[in-house]
Amino acid sequence: MGQVGGAARSLVRVSDPGPTSRPLADRFGRVHRDLRISVTDRCNFRCTYCMPAEGMDWHPRDHLLTFEELRRVATVCVERFGFDSIRLTGGEPTVRAGLPVLVEQLAALPVDLSLTTNGSTLAAQAGPLRSAGLDRLNISLDSLRADRFEALTRRDELPRVLDGIRAAVAAGFDPVKVNVVVVRGVNDDEIVDFARFGRDEGVTVRFIEFMPLDAEQRWSHEQVVPSAEIVAAIDSVFPTEPVQRGSDPAERHRYLDGGGEVGVIGTVTEPFCSSCDRVRLTADGQLRACLFATDETDLRALLREGGSDDDLADAIARTVGAKWAGHGISNVTFTRPARSMSEIGG
């Protein structure tokens, strides 16, 4: 790990993706600059809204893209299309062996490099990931109550996650974001508790509306706590004011007393599809233009059958060109993707 960190500190990020890059726009004029890379479909948790308690069939190891293949796709996105943001996801990305090596490789690109994790291994991994060149961390945490956390994740790991959050702050990640999926009747009574936790720990809490994340799950609109309701609950205890949003999917609010900020992501009641700038690469090499897309483009086959960078760029452009106007969760015709969230990547 020490060698990885030392090498990372000597890398100089290029400030210009190059004269050959061109904006990657879809038919609705949205320019795509954000690549989400799932590095594994495996996870050490079994969250109720993401995975069944038993019975997941993991991809064989040789079906997963290698670090070299992941780096090649990322490089095409950056150099050909000017992507400036890469987020590593899973499953749980920290269970992929040698993850700091991949971080070091991607940190050489001129991008904001971040990672989404459940935080259970961060006490040991936060330092090496930071040294390897990781810029930011998002940590998923849906309850601050040990019994409820165990019921939601099917794991008794809350103390380790809290230690991981503090290790991330100590390692110098700034901001550290804590993502909370709010479900009516499950954890909506913890909204203010999470706001207080964020203020006390110096992390940015982001509340996410509950989405139909798993093809086998029973989901209904009644389970969604609207973002406006979340903000109102926080405001009643810790008054806030809105912050300019930009292209961030989160609606940001600053505490009036200077205690940091909080975010809400209204994917269901206030979708941001019209400004979405991301594409997703699954761990087994399938490119998706939307989290809820029902079709994919097989980049693994291109990579392993001798495809050129031009071929990869053409496939990426075709996928984005066919992107829908929106996910359509509120439509009666909405169809959930066949893959679970652990396979697609968050």
3-state secondary structure string across 53-112: CCCCCCCCHHHCCCHHHHHHHHHHHHHHHCCCEEEEECCCHHHCCCHHHHHHHHHCCCCE
pLDDT recorded at residue 340:
60
CA–CA separation, 220 and 291 (whole Å):
18
* pLDDT score of 148: 96
DSSP assignment of 185-200, as one string?
TTTGGGHHHHHHHHHH
Looking at residue 341, what is its pLDDT? Answer: 61
How are beta strands 31-32 and 24-25 bridged, if at all? Answer: antiparallel
Dig out the tokens for 302 from the structure: 């291109």
CA 223 to chain centre: 22
Say whether the peptide bond before residue 52 is cis (omega within 30 degrees of 0).
Answer: no
**How many Å apart are CA 43 and CA 103, to the nearest integer?**
19
Q: What is the pLDDT of residue 8?
A: 35
pLDDT at 267: 80
Per-residue pLDDT of the chain (346 residues; tens, 9 = 90+): 333 333 333 333 443 445 468 999 999 999 999 999 999 988 887 776 766 666 677 788 899 999 999 999 999 999 999 999 999 998 899 999 999 999 999 999 999 999 999 999 999 999 999 999 999 999 999 999 999 999 999 889 999 999 999 999 999 999 999 999 999 999 999 999 999 999 999 999 999 998 766 544 565 778 899 999 999 999 999 999 999 876 678 899 999 999 999 999 988 887 777 888 999 999 999 999 988 777 899 999 999 999 999 999 999 999 999 998 865 455 444 455 556 666 666 5
Determine the pLDDT at residue 6.
36
What does the pLDDT read at residue 188? 97
What is the per-residue pLDDT for 312? 98
Give the pLDDT confidence score for residue 199 in this predicted structure.
98
Q: What is the pLDDT of residue 59?
A: 80
pTM: 0.87
